[in-house]
Amino acid sequence: MADTGPAPRTAERHQALDDLVAQAQALKMGYEQQPPIQLNQRKPRKSKRSRVLEVAEVPIWDYAMRMRIIALSALKTFRESSPSYADAIEPGMAWYRETLRAHWSTPNDVKAQFSSAGILRDGRVVFNIAGNKYRLVVWINYAYRVVYIRFIGTHKQYDEIDAQTI
């Protein structure tokens, strides 16, 4: 029997193996030409917050678009305490929505937006709600854009409290 060489299937396998060896050698030569990677030279990753602060050195809360209103439950409790206070619902929510969109940094900004507001000491402000029927006392932290509801009531109830200490 004459030797005709390897079977065709075996020849294909040898050719595929030779191709893989050639590709590996080409890759090895490509890697040898590149400089080695030094791990100590990697740049440290920066967090999103530090990237924002690189743009401008301002507090992160200055990027907030809204005022934060704390103790909204005081408005809900007041209107639910008596059916006669039902007329305070709509004006109270109108004040809430307008305050959320406000950009107050000083008491003058508050006075410019609400001309009937009374400015007290230490960040306290008195708003007249529902056509001067109710009074709303808040404490405003202008730097942090926070409005804290301290009191809501009728004029008679307001006269019984000290707006500076409540």
Tens digit of each residue's pLDDT (9 = 90 or more) over 29-44: 655 555 555 555 555 5
Q: What is the mean pLDDT of residues 39-68?
A: 57
Q: What is the mean pLDDT of residues 71-92?
A: 87
pLDDT above 90 covers what percent of the chain?
36
- The pLDDT tens digits of the residues spanning 101-145 come to 998 999 999 999 999 999 999 999 999 998 889 999 999 999 889
- 64 pLDDT above the threshold of 70: no
What is the full DSSP assignment across 69-121?
Answer: EE-THHHHHHHHH-GGGGGGHHHHHHHHHHHHT---SSHHHHHHH-TTPEE-S
Query: What's the start-to-end Cα distance of the chain, in Å?
Result: 113
Is residue 121 within 8 Å of 42, Cβ to Cβ?
no
User: Of how many residues is the chain composed?
Assistant: 166
pLDDT at 55: 47
Bridge partners (DSSP) listed for residue 138? 125, 149
Tokens 């230490």 identify what position? Answer: 122
Determine how many CB atoms are found less than 10 A away from the CB of residue 155. Answer: 11
Determine how many CB atoms are found less than 10 A away from the CB of residue 52. Answer: 13
**What does the CA dihedral 15, 21, 23, 28 come to, rounded to 10 degrees?**
-170
- 46 pLDDT above the threshold of 90: no
pLDDT at 42: 55
pLDDT at 80: 86
